[in-house]
Chains A and B, each alone.
Chain A
Amino acid sequence: MSTVAESVPPKGGFSFDLCRRNEMLVQKGLKQPSFLKTGTTIVGLIFQDGVILGADTRATEGPIVADKNCEKIHYMAPNIYCCGAGTAADTEAVTDMVSSQLKLHRYHTGRESRVVTALTLLKSHLFSYQGYVSAALVLGGVDVTGPHLHTIYPHGSTDTLPFATMGSGSLAAMAVFESKYREGLTRDEGVKLVAEAICSGIFNDLGSGSNVDICVITKGKKEYLRNYMLPNPRTYVSEKGYSFAKKTEVLLTKITPLKELVEVVEGGDAMEE
């Protein structure tokens, strides 16, 4: 079996080969590496001219905030964006991968990408990995057929909804949406509602925090409002500034231009092929 493995291309889907070895190692006392999760609040809603996506900006590693201001709204196509919750690496990788596939498809067809294309590519990838790719996504965009909003679960199921929330803060955000959403919102009303829902997640859920990112997608136009709201500013900054303790002495400051150390031979032999 081992001699064949190198030349055969991977069949796709999850390979369970290493599972037994991992279990054996855990039994022997190995601590499995933890992963960076984005305990998160991500939301999307459809308003009269298109789609608005929103996300918080906290990335957690267990009880610690690993990134205070990460970006959870990922680019898929000029008219399609995707928010990701779950394991940060999984959401990044899967959205990057499908974004590239969409670009190749656009070159191939010469047309603007459709949201259902991104949806099908994402869901078939996630399904083939049987939920091990821990990415929960809110996909939204406007294409020739109109505005679309979908949620995609780690096991590969999808929903088409007028408003959606995912992540650990989804219940807090959904409470806001269920009580205040109606059809035919204007852009400003929609942005306000999305910001309110994300703030509800930020302040009521421990896995979400920091700032609010918003992305408004309409026909032919998108506005990526990074850090639209900063409801958690750093309230105290020392006026005196920070100085070194008296005992620290700066001994020497010397700037060595790097080029002097490198010998560049002009007109030398060409590099070996």
Chain B
Amino acid sequence: MNLADSTPAMNTLLGSEADSQRTLYPYVTGTSVVGIKYKDGILLAADMGGSYGSTLRYKTVERLKPVGKHSIIGASGEISDFQEIMRYLDELILYDNMWDDGNSLGPKEVHNYLTRMMYNRRNKFNPLWNSLVLGGVKNGQKYLGTVSMIGVHYEDNHVATGFGNHLARPILRDEWHENLTFEEGVKLLEKCMRVLLYRDRSAVNKLQIAKITEAGVTISQPYSLKTFWDFSAFKNPTVGAEGSW
């Protein structure tokens, strides 16, 4: 199958001048986001790092944002694409407010909007390079969902993006249960974020936790986790074999 034979329209889609219009790889990226449902609503946690390849370039990137009255969104992946997504979401919420009909978009609707947007961009070979977590409460109903950059979407009691899938999901599967209190929920999220801090090279020790309940959204101030490095094997690894490593 020769690309040169296809119509000019097809050619420009995959031609070199069109390449500058498509996302080929991410540049400034955020690492994992972890989210859980708890008794009163949803808790999301994300650190504040923006990596430029292997350099830790930005250390105060807010990756958790409120959306409308009923939802919060957390994003990992390309930061500029997240900023674009926030512009689309702000426009969506604005138009919804302009209807002034007493109804407002809930988390399920916002999740669906994001899914359609991500999937459509992926079909045009120009994805928004993000994995998103969308959580919220409306009319007492809690909702927590995720969308990936190719449009894979699902909702669950606990979600994570990126490395969080491998390191945090196992912990959440074991220790999450219905009706966690706020303190238990934060402790569980901090446990996951600590493991990510130890084992994910692009993690930074500066995180925010976002809470959403029927009453509203609260995004905490940035803070850091305590880490433990005093294992005796770390202090003297070559005991028993001087000179080895």
Contact = CB atoms under 8 A, between A and B. Distances in A.
Given A46-B233, A161-B233, A148 B240 contact: yes
Interface in A171-225: 171-172, 174-176, 178-179, 183, 196, 200, 203-204
Interface string A143-156: 10110110000000
A11 B79 CA distance: 53
B240 A200 contact: no
Interface residues of B, number: 26
B195 interface: yes
B170 A204 contact: yes
Nearest to A171: B166
A121 interface: no
Interface in B160-209: 163, 166-171, 173-174, 191-192, 194-195, 198-199
Given A178-B199, A179-B194, A200-B174, A114 B244 contact: no
B195 A160 contact: no
A158 interface: yes
A183 B232 CA distance: 8
A198 to B, nearest CB: 12
A17 to B, nearest CB: 33
A147 to B, nearest CB: 9
Contacts of B234: 162
A160 B231 contact: no
Contacts of B244: 116, 119-120
B237 interface: yes
A24 to B, nearest CB: 28
A200 B233 contact: no
Given A145-B239, A145-B240, A148-B240, A175 B233 contact: no
B224 interface: no
Contacts of A115: 240
Interface in A130-170: 143, 145-146, 148-149, 158-162
A196 B191 CA distance: 16
Interface in A46-97: 46
Contacts of B167: 171-172, 174-175
Contact of B237 (A114, A160, A175): A160
Contacts of A204: 169-170, 173
Among A115, A171, A196, A203, residue most surrounded by chain B Cβ atoms (within 10 Å): A171
A159 B234 CA distance: 10
A143 B166 CA distance: 35
Interface string B201-245: 000000000000000000000000000000111100111110011
Given A119-B244, A204-B173, 4 more contacts: A148-B240, A172-B167, A175-B195, A203-B173
Interface of A: 46, 114-116, 119-120, 143, 145-146, 148-149, 158-162, 171-172, 174-176, 178-179, 183, 196, 200, 203-204
Lowest 4 A-B CB distances belong to which pairs?
Answer: A145-B240, A160-B237, A171-B166, A116-B241
Interface of B: 163, 166-171, 173-174, 191-192, 194-195, 198-199, 231-234, 237-241, 244-245
